[in-house]
A and B are shown apart, each in its own frame.
Chain A
C-alpha cells in the first residue's frame, strides 16, 4: 500500500473513527455514572477521543524501524483512542469491568501491566492497560455510519503511570538526540518508584475507606432506616466519622438489627428528627439513630467517651426523656 492510498482510506473513514471513539467514551462514562461514580472527580483527565494526526499515522505505518506492517492500514488499531486516567490501581479495575461487560463491542485485552509484570519481572517500563474495542454490528452514531469491527484503542492507567507515559512519550520517543543509558536507567527507576507509590496509595485508600462500618454494611443499613422513618435522605458529615471512630468496638454485625428493633419501639423518633432537622447537624445524619440507641442501651459508655460537645447529647436525651443527672 502506498502512502497516498493509505491517506485516502483514512480521510474517507476518519469521521466514522471519530464517531466510534465518541460512542465508546460516552458509553463508559454513562456506565460509571450508573454505578454512582462522580466521573468529574473520578477521572483525572477528561476522556476525550483523539484521532491520530496524518503525520504520526504515516510515520507509524511506514517509518518505524521496530515494527514492519504487512497491511498497515488494517493493522494499526489506535487510529482513534480514548484514555481514562484515574487515581488508584483499584479504580482501573472499575473501568475494566465496565469495558469487558459492555454488550455493544468485542474487546481485545491487548495489554495489561499485571501481565507485563509477570512476563518481565525485572523490567520497569511503561505501564498501562490497553483494550481494542470493535462494534459487534454496524450502526449509526450522531448521524455517522460506524462499521462493525472498526477498532478503537482504550487506555486505562493511574495518574502516576500517566505522568510516566507523558514524560517518556514526549521526551524520549521524540528526543532529538540519542538517549544516554543513564537516562533510560533513570526513567526505569522512576517507574519502579511509581509502582511502589501506586501500591502505597492503594493501601492508604483501603485503610481510609474500609472499617467494620463499611465491611458489615452498617452505614448503608442505617441510611436506609433513616430514610424510612424520616422520609429524608441523610446527609452524613465528618462529625459522624468522629463518633463512629470513638465507638468502633460497638460496630458488630447485629448492630443494625438492634437499632432497628429499638426504632420499632420508639417510632415517634422519626417525627422528632424531622421537626428538629435544622436544630443541629446530628439530626441530618443517620448516625443520630446510633446515638439514640446508645443513649438507651449504652448510656454510661456514651457519656464517658462522647467526642463532641455535651450540649448536643442533651438535646437528644430530651427527645428520649432520659435523665442525665446521675452521669
Chain B
C-alpha cells in the first residue's frame, strides 16, 4: 500500500502479558495518557510503520471476517469517531482483546501500540496496531572523563528495526464508501505485516494475531491477483532479451515460486530479488506495477492457474509442441538455441536443441 503523506496524531500504549503458570489470562496494564514523541522519535516511528506496511513491504491485504458487535473490527469502526479522551479509554479494549487471543502460554507479552493518523493525497484516516515484543540489548555509554566506551544492559527494548520483533496491522479508511456500510470491508482496507512468522509456515501472520485478535481472514481476490502475477511475469520473461535457455530457466523458477515454495505470500519484489539481477529487477517491478499487480505482497492462491502450473509447454514453428510436467521439465529437459543452416540471406537459421535425459518409451 502506498502510504503517502503519512501523519500520525495519537499514540497510546498498553502493556500485555504472557499467560501465567496456570495458563490464565493476566489483565493488561492500561495507559491513560497519550505518548508524545519528539520529532526524531516520531520520524523513526513513521519509518517503522512505512517499512512494515508501505509499498514493497511484506505486508499483505487481508479481509475482515469477524464483524459482529464486540469483534475488533467493529471496535475500530466505533473508536474512529471518538474524541481524544474517549479514545484513550476505549483503546484499552484492544489490549483486552489481544490478551484473550493469546491463548497459549508460549506467546510472549509485550506492548500494544494503538495509533491513528491520516494518509493519502487527499488525507483519509487510519488506525494502526503494533504488538511489539520486549527484548534485551545494550546501550553504548561513553565515560566523559576517560572517553572509554562501555555497554549498559537494557532489559526492555522495543521496536528495533534489526530484530523486527513486532507485528503490525492497520485499518485504512477507503476513499469512498456509502452511508450505510453493512460489510466493514466496504469501508476499510486492512493490511497485516508479521515479521516474526517464518515464511515457510504457509501463513502470512500468526493465527492468534490475524484471526483471533484482529478477526481477519485471507482475501477472496487472491486467486485473481495470483493469476495476474503469473501472467504478467510470464509476459515479462517472454519479452526479455536473453537466450532461450535462460528464459526456460526463469519460467521454471516462476512455476517453482508459485507452486513448490511454501511461502504463503507472493510479491514482485520478492520474486525479483531471488531471480533477477539489479537492473532487470527494477524493470520487472515497473512492468508488474504497470500490469496492475499490487506493489506490496499478497496472499498466494493458485486456484486459477493450477493447470498452467502443472505443465511446462514449449511451442515451435511448424506446429511442433513439446510439453512435460513441470517438475520433470525442470529436472530432465534442457534447451539450447544453436545456429542452423544458412538461409537465403546467408544468415544461419535459429534451431533449438532439446536434450531429454531419458529414453523413448513409446512412439505413435
Contacts and interface: CB of A to CB of B under 8 A. Distances in A.
B3 to A, nearest CB: 3
B197 interface: no
Contacts of B278: 300-301, 304
Contact of A318 (B46, B272, B285, B296): B46
A267 interface: yes
Contacts of A325: 51-52, 57-58, 161
12 contacts: A266-B4, A268-B5, A299-B56, A304-B278, A317-B54, A321-B4, A321-B5, A322-B2, A322-B54, A323-B55, A324-B56, A326-B58
A262 to B, nearest CB: 11
Contacts of A123: none
B273 A321 contact: no
Which of A317, A320, A324, A325 gathers the greatest number of chain B CB atoms within 10 Å?
Answer: A325
Contacts of B272: 300
B58 to A, nearest CB: 7
Contacts of A319: 4-5
B269 interface: yes
B54 A323 contact: yes
Contacts of B53: 323
A272 interface: yes
Nearest to B276: A300
Given A299-B282, A300-B285, 11 more contacts: A297-B285, A298-B282, A300-B273, A301-B278, A301-B279, A315-B43, A318-B6, A321-B1, A323-B56, A323-B59, A326-B269
A325 B3 CA distance: 14
Nearest to A314: B47
A292 to B, nearest CB: 11
Given A266-B4, A301-B279, A322 B286 contact: no
A268 B56 contact: no
Interface string B45-89: 011001111111111000000000000000000000000000000
Contacts of A318: 6, 43, 46-47, 50
Given A267-B121, A301-B279, A321 B47 contact: no
Contacts of A326: 56-58, 269-270, 273
Interface in A16-65: none
B281 A300 contact: yes
B2 A320 contact: yes
B353 to A, nearest CB: 34
A315 B46 CA distance: 10
Contacts of B52: 323, 325
A319 B47 CA distance: 10
Contacts of B286: 297
Interface in A262-315: 266-268, 272, 297-301, 304, 314-315
A298 B279 CA distance: 8
B119 interface: yes
B50 A323 contact: yes
A299 B285 contact: yes
Given A297-B286, A301-B278, A321 B119 contact: yes
A324 B161 CA distance: 11
Nearest to B54: A323
Contacts of B296: 323
Interface of B: 1-6, 43, 46-47, 50-59, 119, 121, 161, 269-270, 272-273, 278-279, 281-282, 285-286, 296
A70 to B, nearest CB: 76
B191 to A, nearest CB: 11
A315 B285 CA distance: 22
> Dominant SS at the A interface?
helix
Contact of B50 (A298, A299, A322): A322
B362 to A, nearest CB: 48
B175 to A, nearest CB: 13
Given A267-B121, A297-B282, A323 B51 contact: yes
B276 to A, nearest CB: 9
Contact of B121 (A268, A297, A300, A324): A268
A283 to B, nearest CB: 15
Given A268-B121, A300-B281, A326-B58, A321 B6 contact: yes
A300 B54 CA distance: 16
A322 B56 contact: yes
B172 to A, nearest CB: 11
Nearest to B280: A300
Contacts of B57: 323, 325-326
Contacts of B161: 325
A66 B3 CA distance: 83
A272 B5 contact: yes
A300 B278 CA distance: 6
A323 B60 CA distance: 13
Nearest to A297: B286
A321 B2 contact: yes
A322 B281 contact: no
Which of A266, A300, A318, A321 gathers the greatest number of chain B CB atoms within 10 Å?
Answer: A321
A321 B281 contact: no
A299 B288 CA distance: 14
Nearest to B44: A314
Interface in A202-237: none
Contacts of A304: 278
A299 B273 CA distance: 12
Contacts of B273: 300, 326
A288 to B, nearest CB: 15
A297 B286 CA distance: 6
A37 B50 CA distance: 46
Nearest to B296: A323
A251 to B, nearest CB: 15
The 3 closest A-B pairs by CB, nearest first: A321-B3, A323-B57, A268-B121
B132 to A, nearest CB: 15
